[in-house]
Each structure stands twice: as C-alpha cells, then as structure tokens.
Amino acid sequence: MSRGPAERKSGISKPAPRRIRTGIPLFLNNPSIIIAPVSLGAEPTFTQSSTRLPSTLSEPEVYCDAAEESPPLERGKSLFTSAIVKSVPKTIARGITSAILGKPDYEKAREQHARYVGALETCGLKVVVLDADDEFPDSVFVEDTAVVTDRHAVVARPGAPSRRGEIRAVEPVLSDLYENVERIEAPGTLDGGDVLQVGDRFYVGLTQRTNEEGAGQLSVFLQRYGFDVSLVPLRRFLHLKTGVSYLGDDDLLVAGELVENDAFAGFDGIPVPTQEEYCANCIRVNDRVLIPAGYEETKASISTRGYEVVELEMSEFQKVDGGLSCLSLRLP
Ligand code: CIR
C-alpha cells in the first residue's frame, strides 16, 4: 500500500486514502446492512434482513467525488503498518472488572505491556506509545476509544462513564493522521472492543457498552466509506471481541454465545473451549497471531491451521477484563 506523503507529528504515516463509493445515501434500503432486532437481556434472534437504520440518524451530507467503486479488500488480509498504545496507569488496579483474579500489579503490568509493544514491533509495526494517564484506570485499553480504518477514523464514546474522558488523548493523534475523523455523539455509546473488521465488513456488537444509537451512528459513518455493517446483539460478553477474533482466510475463533451465532455462519469457525474462553480475544498482526499465554488447546487449533503463534503473558490485564486486542489500535 502506498503511503501518505509526510510523516505526521505522531511519527506514523497517514493511511493511504481509498476511493469511496458515491451516489445515493448508502444506508437507505441498503441490502448490505444487516440489523438484528435488539432486545438486550432477552434472547436475541438474528434475522438477516435488510433494514433501515433508526430514523433518528441523520443522512450523511458529504459524499466523496470519486467516481469509481473501491475494490473490496481481499477477505482475510489484515495488514497493519502501525499501532497506537497507551502506557499503563499507576491506577490500573482501580479498573472496572468482573473478574475475581485479584488486583493487577502495576510493575508486572508494565512488563507485560512492554512485551506486547515488542511483539507488535516484531510483526513489523511502528508503535506510538501515548503517555499514561492516572486519572483513567482503564486507559491502557486504548482500543475502546476509537475505530480506525484505511479510509477514516471514528472517535468512540465509551459506554462506561468513567472512561469517557479517555478519548481526549486519542482524538488529536487521529486528527493528525486522518483527514476524516468522525465522532460518536450522545446519547450514542460505543466501545472499540465491540467492533470487528473482516475485509470490507464490520461486525458491531450491541452490548452494555455499545448501544443501538452508537452502533447506528457508526454504521452511517462506515457505510459512507463503502463498508458493510452487521450488528450483533450480545447477552453475556463484555465486548464483541471478547468472544470472537478473525484470523484471516475465513478462519474465525469463536467462543460461548457466539459459536452458534448466525452472523458468523459463513466462516470456518474455530470453537474455543469454555475453559479457554479468554483466548478467544487474539490478534492477527501481519504474519503472526498474538495470543494470551497458557491456552494450549486453542494455541494448537491456531497453529495447526498454519499460523505462526506468539504467546504473551496477559495475567495483569485479565484481572481487569482486558484482552490482547484492547491494548492497541492497529492501523493499516
Ligand atoms: C473495562 O471494563 O472497560 C476495562 N476494565 C476492560 C476493557 C477491555 N477492553 C476491550 O475488551 N476492548
């Protein structure tokens, strides 16, 4: 992929822009958007029918003047050139958690974070490390603050009120990197951990953190740049990517409530055993798959499919419900 002309303040290059579809508003009667009826807390039923987005959403006003449709990204490619991470705050032990694994140790978390950054670099990424912010105990989980693509970036509005201010550190970096930066606005809420990209399609989890309004706003933005969207209501997982990771070549790691979900019916599902559920959150970074250490069965399932696996100790982040993907924003 060709690079933007100049290195930016952040030290990483701007993602090369892609052509954008033009014409009628993309979300109107668009068969490529799939929205399931949502009733959080109740048994979700997933219907693959085309639906209009909620009427409260405004029509996109700006369309690119490019005349051609962009070719779809090759399904399975997950090529990244850089990543944004945020250092561990001293307050990490006060992070939100449902785990009963004890409090994370700050020094240990710093070591694990340093290894994580090293692994991203080994995968060929240039890594921008944002300063730690002790005001926000969960701020190391920078993935939740934004959605980044090769065409635009969207600043999230985290569902947990204690995390809302985290976007202040990320917004200027994204504005430096992208010409097009949109924002999720109230009453919408959206955590980046609820957003999974597979080629030109985005799967967006509806969870306690991401509401219909937030997911709807994101869908409008994504469609404006030629992406398709599927909404996936969840009952139990914190985030969509808590239970699913795309490895490439149609291989999808799935756990728990997502194993039988129709949204992912077209993939080669690799079920993650219940006792290894934490390992469902992995990241494919260029030629390698980064996984949490200690999950032998899932590691074997991934390796036997020909992927080079890198194991990373994640114990301190797991204590505050954080997985591998949460620790970075990976940029094409
Ligand atoms: C939280 O509850 O928000 C953090 N303690 C963990 C966030 C994990 N982020 C992610 O899965 N994307």
Looking at the CA of residue 281, tell me the nearest atom of ligand 1.
Answer: 11
- Name, in order, each residue with C-beta under 8 angstroms of 286's C-beta and a sequence gap of 6 or more: 78, 79, 80, 123, 124, 125
What is the per-residue pLDDT for 79?
86
Regions of the chain with pLDDT less than 70: 1-78
CA distances from 194 to 75, 131, 188, 286, 300 (A): 20, 24, 14, 21, 26
At a CB cut-off of 8 Å and minimum separation 6, what does 310 contact? 119, 122, 123, 288, 289, 290, 291
Using CB distances shorter than 6 Å, the residues near ligand 1 are 95-97, 138, 141, 143-144, 160, 163, 193, 238-239, 242, 320-323, 326
Residue 267: strand pairing partners: none
Q: Give the type of residue at 174.
A: L
Q: Which of 195, 236, 326, 327 to mutate to test the pocket of ligand 1 (most atoms within 8 A of CB)?
A: 326
Residue 226 — left, alpha, or beta (φ > 0 → left; ψ -120 to 50 → alpha)? left
- CA nearest to 144, candidates 154, 133, 131: 154
Distance 14 CA to ligand 1 centre (A): 27
Give the number of the atom of ligand 1 that is nearest the alpha carbon of residue 321.
6
> Ligand 1, closest atom to CA 144?
12
Model pLDDT for residues 253-307, shown as the tens digit of each residue: 999 999 999 999 999 999 999 999 999 999 999 999 999 999 999 999 999 999 9
- Residue 97 CA: nearest ligand 1 atom is 5
> Ligand 1: which residue has its CA nearest to atom 8?
322
Ligand 1, residues 321, 327, 329, 330: which to mutate, most atoms within 8 A of Cβ?
321
CATH number given to 5-9+25-35+43-331: 3.75.10.10
Q: Where are the beta strands (DSSP E) in 62-131?
A: 82-86, 126-130
Nearest CA to ligand 1 atom 1: 96
Query: What is the predicted pLDDT for the residue at 42?
Result: 29
Active site residue ranges: 239, 326
Provide DSSP, 213-236.
HHHHHHHHHHHHTT-EEEEEE-SS
Residue among 100, 101, 238 whose CB has most ligand 1 atoms within 8 A, to mutate: 238
- The reported pLDDT for the residue numbered 74 is 40
Q: What are the structural domain ranges in the chain?
A: 5-9+25-35+43-331
Span from the CA of 122 to the centroid of ligand 1 (angstroms):
25
Taking the C-alpha atoms of residue 14 and residue 4, their distance in angstroms, rounded to an integer, is 5
Q: What is the pLDDT of residue 93?
A: 98
